[in-house]
Structure 1
Amino acid sequence: MKFRSQIQILILFLFVISGCSTHLDTTYDPVHIPSSKSTIPKKNPATQKPYKINGVKYTPLASATGFVQTGLASWYGKKFHGRKTANGEIYDMYAMTAAHKTLPLGTWVSVHNLENNKKIVVRINDRGPFVYGRIIDLSYTGAKKLGVLGPGTAKVKVTALGRATSYSEKTKNPIAFTAVDYWKGNFTVQVGAFQVKANADNYRYKLSRNYQNAHIKPFEDYRGTFYRVRIGRFTNLKDAERFSDKLMEQDFSQAFAVAE
């Protein structure tokens, strides 16, 4: 159909907004750590689309309940400071965050350094590390507190805590957690992303003739503004994924479900 061929042509830059960095460099050494840094996130997206790095496919977990993992921790710092993370935040090397390949974004985890017995709590907001044998990439501050900066890596035990439900008024650190059903929330299906707003508007208008709730979600990072075109609104991830599969059968070859 002519309309379908137009859709295929107009689906641009779908993966230009991907936030999955490889985190291969772990030797950056800033000169100081601010004494006070809030760790309260503005937003914790509930899910992430399956992705491939170096030909390997990673499928994020639907739930972090009961998750425990032992392996090597590494860290990433200055080179990635100020860049977009996988959940859309800007990476802050001084915050208590970390990257994990499959844990749900927004999950708080306890990291226990098995070599010096130090422990920290960090929030997963990025994907990585994509180096064999490593299970978690810590922020600069997290690595410093855990004693990982000097050696670069350390054997650790990662235990998922869940979503933070309350924070310390004094330190702003999380003090209570709860398990989260990551299948429930607000979801939609993304079918395209544009750097020119007029193109996104035209695409949304054409889609609205056949699909309800076609809408545009602007996104900004250091590269500029992207206008993400999405279809549908769902309160269950499985429903969004079913709709995404249906769209893919209708020539939306790169449609995928996302949390809003």
Structure 2
Amino acid sequence: MKKSITLFFLLVISCAVYSQSSVRQKTLVQKDSIKKSKMAIEIEEKKLDSLVAVLGVFKPFKKAAHASYYADKFNGRRTTSGTKFDNNKYTAAHKKLPFGTKVRVTNEKNGKWVVVEITDRGPFVKSREIDLSKRAFMDITSNRGSGGMLVTIEVLNK
């Protein structure tokens, strides 16, 4: 009799533990799928933002402008607009264009272009018109060893 009661309790306990673990697994799967769906929504929003920037109408601003890129020592520092500079983002510095302006910069040699956002002031050299983040510069340059290139600058009209 004692053995059957003991076996019964063990069976009840094991069933309870099994059911709790399956509930935990289901909730983990649900939480994980929620995280994935939030991430998918964020990615879709970013795609939409970049599509709006690309599909917009660009007004010519300057041709044959000299462009250079930020040195690595500026990575992590604050820009004039107050944001933290990241050499892996598509940002740029211009002397006069307002902060937040979307600009298409086209390499005149090979026709490659990027859309960047103005977040800083500069360059502080008279012969240069725009400073690009390193990622933006390397995406459009034809010679990765060069420090400058001639570009066409176009401003996005909203």
TM-score (norm 1): 0.37
Partners of 2:156 and 2:74 lie apart in 1 by 26
Say whether 1:154 aligns with 2:149: yes
| Other structure's SS at 2:151 match | strand
Partners of 1:124 and 1:149 lie apart in 2 by 23
Distance 1:154-1:132 versus aligned 2 partners, 3 A rule = same
Partners of 1:117 and 1:92 lie apart in 2 by 25
Q: Return the letter of the residue paired with 2:145.
A: G
Q: Return the offset for 1:132.
A: 2.0
The residue correspondences of 1:74-223 to structure 2 (distance < 5 A) are 74-147=68-141, 149-162=144-157, 178=158
Partners of 2:74 and 2:123 lie apart in 1 by 13
Q: Return the offset for 1:72.
A: 0.4
Partners of 2:117 and 2:156 lie apart in 1 by 10
Structure 2 counterpart of 1:171: none
| Other structure's SS at 1:98 match | strand
Structure 2 counterpart of 1:199: none
* Residues 171-228 of structure 1: CA deviation (Å, up to 9, x unaligned): xxxxxxx1xxxxxxxxxxxxxxxxxxxxxxxxxxxxxxxxxxxxxxxxxxxxxxxxxx
Q: Return the offset for 1:130.
A: 1.2
Partners of 2:147 and 2:91 lie apart in 1 by 17
- Greater percentage in strand: 1
Q: Return the offset for 1:66.
A: 4.3
Q: Percent identity?
A: 41
Structure 1 counterpart of 2:3: none
Counterpart contact for 1:111–1:158, Cα < 8 Å? yes
What are structure 2's unaligned runs of at least 5 residues?
Answer: 1-42, 50-57
Q: In structure 2, which of residues 54, 62, 65 is the aligned counterpart of residue 69 of structure 1?
A: 62
| Other structure's SS at 1:103 match | coil
Structure 1 segments of 4 or more deviating over 6 A? none
- Greater percentage in helix: 2
Distance 1:81-1:118 versus aligned 2 partners, 3 A rule = same
Q: Return the letter of the residue paired with 2:62.
A: Q
Q: Return the offset for 1:67.
A: 5.4
Counterpart contact for 1:140–1:149, Cα < 8 Å? no
- Cα RMSD (Å) of the superposition? 2.3
Q: How many residues align?
A: 103
Q: Return the offset for 1:102.
A: 0.3
Partners of 1:156 and 1:130 lie apart in 2 by 18
Q: Return the letter of the residue paired with 1:122.
A: V
Structure of greater Rg: 2
